[in-house]
Structure 1
Amino acid sequence: MKVNESNVDRIIRVVVGIVLLYLGFGGVLGGVLAIVADIFGVIMLLTGAIGFCPLYTLFKFSTLKK
């Protein structure tokens, strides 16, 4: 796995992941929507933390400056 996210991209992903987890676990959302928010929140946190997005690789995309 090669890093394919810029620092700005990673920060945005971590912030969005935290917000989604808050919405899901914090009781703001309920039912299936809360579960979906939690799943996407974890995915965003993980991809932001490691700097690798599998979808970017699939579409041959990167936010890193060359």
Structure 2
Amino acid sequence: MKKNMGNLDRGLRIAAAVIIGILYATHVINGTLALILGILALVFIATSFISFCPLYAPFKLSTYRAKK
């Protein structure tokens, strides 16, 4: 897999996942919404660590800047 996520993109995804986790821990979200957002948070964390977003690939999008 070729990297297609830049540092800002990765940071924003991790921040969103942390916020979702905090909202769940403080019981602000619950039920079906918590389940859906929890799954989304896991996807955000996974894609951030591998620096590859499968949804970017078909559209040939990339926020990754190669070091020169």
Displaced runs of 4+ in structure 1, greater than 2 A? Answer: 21-24
Whether 1:34 and 2:34 are equivalent positions in the alignment is yes
How many residues were matched structurally?
A: 65
The root-mean-square deviation of aligned C-alpha atoms, in Å, is 1.3
Flag the structure with higher helix content.
1
Shift of 1:28: 1.6
Q: Percent identity between the aligned chains?
A: 37
> Unaligned 5+ residue runs, structure 1?
none
- TM norm structure 2: 0.84
> Unaligned 5+ residue runs, structure 2?
none
- Which entry has the higher C-alpha Rg, 1 or 2? 2
- TM norm structure 1: 0.86
